[in-house]
Amino acid sequence: MGLFSKLSKLGVSLTAFFAMGMAAALASQPEEWQIGFQEAATENMTMITDFNDFLLILMAAISVIVLGLMLYVMVRFNAKANPQPSKTTHNTLVEVIWTVVPIVILVVIAIPSFRLLYFQREIPQAEMTVKAVGYQWYWGYEYPDHGDFAFDSLMLSDEERGDQPRLLATDTAMVVPVDTTVRVIVTAADVLHAFAMPAFGLKMDAVPGRLNETWFKAERTGTFYGQCSELCGIRHAFMPIRIEVVEKAEFAAWVEEAKNEYAEIDNADAMVASAELEDAARQ
Ligand SMILES: [Cu+2]
């Protein structure tokens, strides 16, 4: 059996091994001994995963080729094997090749990379908006399109969390309908935080005094866990994010419940506060 076919057999069995691992890791949270990404739940994350896999193959191929060239040079041109060194100093063809090939490789990487960046940056026509606000140390969610209710989402302790995963469990969740383009407005009330959801390929800085915008369109229902991804203080590790993706009818029912349960954002208070701020600024 040739070396190549041995290597390709190894490749096939490795792929099968990782595929098994991925099938077992369908849950949308970190798994023990996880190697790859979480299973994608949005087109964005699918594209990120594909781009990562593509780069991994490209990098491996480059490393193998460079290693092969080095080994060849070491064997073929060492002092023993090559007692009369050649006096060659330039070779136009070789120089053109080692300039052009890296350029081609960079272009091949740049095209899908920019395509992915633009896909993420250009927010499609959103069907609904959720505002995620980072606080020290929990997240708050506001639903301006559904009656402007707002609520906080705090981590649950080991005693409280039930079946939910440790350090990711929350009391309330951001609930969104499946197959819906959701615009997320991300901001913070005190210090820098970051709103991140691995299965969605989502990560956006939460900056006090600034509204950042991102989006996602979840392709399947389920519970998804993420975490604040900006060092934001002593309890940075304890402000997880839980997103519940539900069927559209279920979402409508949840909205009705939530409207009753969570107090409306008091617009009157907010207007008084901003008037007071303007007064203070004038003085
Ligand atoms: Cu934070």
Report CA(191)–ligand 1 centroid distance (Å).
8
The pLDDT, as a whole number, for residue 261 is: 86
Q: Which domains does the chain have, with CATH numbers?
A: 3-24+36-121 (1.10.287.90), 128-265 (2.60.40.420)
CA of 229 to the centre of ligand 1 (A): 7
Both tokens of 229, joined, read 């991804």
pLDDT of res. 6 = 44
Dist. CA 181 → ligand 1 center (Å): 25
| C-alpha 54 – ligand 1 centre gap (Å) | 32
Q: How far is the CA of 242 from the centre of ligand 1 (A)?
A: 14
From ligand 1's centre to the CA of 25, what distance in Å?
26
Predicted pLDDT at 223: 94
* 230 CA → ligand 1 middle, Å: 6
Judge contact between 240 and 227, C-beta under 8 A: yes
Is residue 113 within 8 Å of 51, Cβ to Cβ? yes
Distance (angstroms) between ligand 1 centre and the Cα of 10 equals 43
**Beta strand pairing call for 240-246 and 222-227:** antiparallel
Q: Helices (DSSP H) in the chain: which residue ranges?
A: 3-24, 43-76, 92-121, 248-261, 267-282
What is the per-residue pLDDT for 12? 42
Q: DSSP letters along 188-249, please?
A: ESSS-EEEEEGGGTEEEEE-BT--EEEEEE--S-EEEEEE--S--STTGGG-EEEEEEE-HH
Q: Give residue 9's pLDDT.
A: 43
Q: How far is ligand 1, taken at its centre, from the CA of residue 139, in Å? A: 8
Give the distance (Å) from ligand 1 centre to CA of residue 252.
30
Separation of CA 127 and ligand 1 centre (Å): 27
The alpha carbon of 66 and the centre of ligand 1 are apart by a number of angstroms equal to 43
> What's the pLDDT at 264?
58
Residue 226 alpha carbon to ligand 1 centre in Å: 12
User: pLDDT truncated to tens, each residue of the chain (283 aa)?
Assistant: 344 444 444 444 444 444 444 433 344 888 889 889 999 999 999 999 999 999 999 999 999 999 999 999 999 999 998 888 888 889 999 999 999 999 999 999 999 999 999 999 999 999 999 999 999 999 999 999 998 999 999 999 999 998 889 999 999 999 999 999 999 999 999 999 999 999 999 999 999 999 999 999 999 999 999 999 999 999 999 999 999 999 999 999 999 999 888 865 555 555 555 566 666 666 5
pLDDT for 163 equals: 86
Chain-centroid distance, C-alpha 226: 9
| Centroid of ligand 1 to alpha carbon of 67 (angstroms) | 43
